[in-house]
Amino acid sequence: MTKTKILCSLGPKSEDPVTIKQLLDAGASAFRLSAAHYGLNRLIQLITLLNEIRSDSSKAFSIIVDLPGSKLRAKLPSNLESMELTEGETVLLAENELQTSKKQIFLSEPTVIRQLGKDDEVLLDDGKAMLRVVRKQEKSVECVVERGATIKKNAGVNLPTIKLSIPSFTDRDKDIIEATANLSVDYYCLSFVRSPKDVQEARNFLDSLDLKSAILVKIETKEALDYFEQICSLGDGIIVARGDLAAETSLEKLPVLQKMLIMRASKFKIPVIVATQLLESMVQKDHPTRTEVTDTANAILDGADALLLTVETAIGERPVLVVETMKKIVESVEEHLDELGMWFDVRRKESSVDSSDAIAKSSYEIARETRAKLIIASTASGSTARRVSYFRPSCPILATTPRERTYYQLPIIWGVVPVLVPEVYSVDIMLHVAIEKAKALGYVKSSDTVVITLGTPCGVVGTTNMLKIHIVE
């Protein structure tokens, strides 16, 4: 198993049971469903299928539903699947179809067009095409194409020069959550978050339904960067969504942004996921480019918990090969984390903020000094396992938990192998169960050293207060 987790987006090329199982065997730790591309009935069918697969699987994986949010999309005239935009030509962005010979594009939120003014930029398909507004009209704006490309219907639209007035957490998002509330979704992704208020609104909505699903916040707007720390404190993880983020900021800023966002978010002990164009050439080819391999490696060295494949596994011709290829890259890079992971040394020198952090840090240090084969983190909520993961130990982290929800949320955490155990109320029994599980899974054998973190009273969230060095008998 790789320590850096591989997450797969499902789509037309990968949403059948056989392929899903093959992706799981190849190294996938979670499956993402983009609700923007599915009707509600189909989305429910696929979540149900994933639950059926994991009920028969010995390997835990997470189910992630990516909510559409306020993502703007390009709508084309009804007879068109795509449109070629040529540099210098004039295009209309219109609220409704007009009688004109000029090319027309509509937006999924038509009234947004009224916010556009002269010289505003309109980016299509993660910036592949760029328009600039030259004239404002009653229910349309006239644009000139400054960067041409062929765009498909439903291509993403970014308006980096204006602040949108539409809500980030939409009624459609709420409908999707309500419809899937009883389907054991582990994570919901919030799209186009612009402020902490957006995350809090989603959290309140989940609470109103008594849902324990976690929230992954996609960082893809300039406004989100201004409130990044507050957003991290409210979310359960972040996704560095590089496509929209680059369109909203600039391509040249993206490499440093990625590093800084990972570094800042990791301090909150939440998972950080990097997404977009990691191995995109493999949508059609059977091998990645050298640039993609280097990009993937850098994300790992930057400290990402997980790498999210999108189009590569959703519409790519060889989704299983993509995961196998990424696994090889990850395994190769992880051999050199101790010598190249400079960010991790910085983490290890930080002062602990509380006793739980101190125990997590100590478990890393003792495991290193004793050359332990395994760290076992007994956890109810998953917090202990995430804290230990933060220090990037060289040995695996076996996270034992009696809670099914925690068991299915932990697969995306770096270095963590979740194990479901019975609820016990004795430290001695808990130790025995954890060691026997580790032996059964092949992580340890007789005479191996294991470092164990746990808390008393057993099974209570936030009570990690013990650390033990154990020699396996």
pLDDT of 109 > 90? The answer is no
**Dihedral (Cα; 74, 80, 85, 86), 10-degree rounding:** -170
Asked whether residue 346 is domain-assigned, the answer is no
Q: What is the mean pLDDT of residues 112-134?
A: 92
**C-alpha of 171 from chain center:** 22
* Same structural domain, 132 and 20: no
Same domain (yes/no): 279, 181: yes
On whether residue 345 sits in a domain, the answer given is: no
Q: What is the pTM of this model?
A: 0.92
- Do 177 and 311 lie in one domain? The reply is yes
Q: List the alpha helices (DSSP H) in 162-289.
A: 171-180, 196-208, 222-226, 228-234, 242-248, 254-266
- The better pLDDT of the pair 146, 247 is held by 146
* Comparison of pLDDT for 354 and 91, the residue scoring more: 91
User: How does DSSP classify residue 380?
Assistant: S
Final residue of a structural domain among 338, 364, 380 = 338
Q: What is the CA radius of gyration of the chain?
A: 23
Residues 96 and 137 in one domain: yes
Q: Report the candidate in 462, 26, 29 with the shortest Cα–Cα distance to residue 269.
A: 462
What does the pLDDT read at residue 127? 87
Residues 57 and 76 grouped into a single domain? no
Least confident of 259-263, 305-309, 444-448, 462-466: 462-466
Kindly tell me if the per-residue pLDDT of 463 is higher than 70.
no
Tell me the mean pLDDT in the region 47-64.
Answer: 96
* Closest residue by Cα to residue 181 from 69, 65, 37: 65
Q: Which of 163-177, 326-340, 444-458 has the lowest mean pLDDT?
A: 444-458
Grouping H, G, I as helix, E, B as strand and the rest as coil, residue 410 is helix
Which of residues 128, 158, 188 is at a domain's end?
158
Backbone angles phi, psi at 396, to 5 degrees: -65, 160
Do the beta carbons of residue 231 and residue 312 sit within 8 Å?
no
pLDDT of amino acid 79: 79
Residue 189: the pLDDT is 98
Contact 54, 112 (CB under 8 A): no
User: Strand pairing of 121-124 and 129-136?
Assistant: antiparallel
pLDDT over 90 at 8, yes or no: yes
pLDDT at 457: 66
Q: In the chain, what percentage of residues exceed pLDDT 70?
A: 99
Q: What is the pLDDT of residue 459?
A: 60
Q: Do residues 381 and 311 both lie within one domain? A: no
| Residue 440 in domain | yes
Residues 357, 291, single domain; the answer is: no
Both 99 and 176 in one domain: the answer is: no
Per-residue confidence (pLDDT) for residue 153, from 0 to 100: 85
Q: Place 331 in a pLDDT band, splitting at 50, 70 and 90.
A: very high
Which of 138, 158, 178 is the last residue in one of the domains? 158
Q: What does the pLDDT look like over 267-278, one tens digit per residue?
A: 999 999 999 999
d(CA 65, CA 160): 26
CATH number for the domain including 463?
3.40.1380.20
Number of domains in the chain: 3
Instruction: Using the predicted structure, report yes or no on whether residue 324 has a pLDDT greater than 70.
Output: yes
Say if residues 64 and 189 touch (Cβ distance below 8 Å).
yes
Note whether residue 374 is domain-resident. yes
The strand pairing partners of 13, in sequence order, are: none
For 178, the domain range is: 5-68+169-338
Together in a domain, 144 and 10: no
pLDDT tens, position by position, 404-445? 999 999 999 999 999 999 988 778 888 888 899 999 999 999
- Residue 345's pLDDT band, with cuts at 50, 70 and 90, is confident
18: Cβ–Cβ under 8 A, 6 or more apart, which residues? none
pLDDT at 49 over 80: yes
Residue 433, SS3 per DSSP? helix
State the CATH number of the domain containing residue 144.
2.40.33.10
70 has a pLDDT exceeding 90: no
pLDDT in tens, 190-230: 999 999 999 999 999 999 999 999 999 999 999 999 999 99
pLDDT at res. 327:
98
> In sequence order, what are the beta bridge partners of 219?
240
The pLDDT of 232-251, averaged and rounded, is: 92
pLDDT at residue 460, as a whole number = 64
| Site of tokens 């730790």 | 29
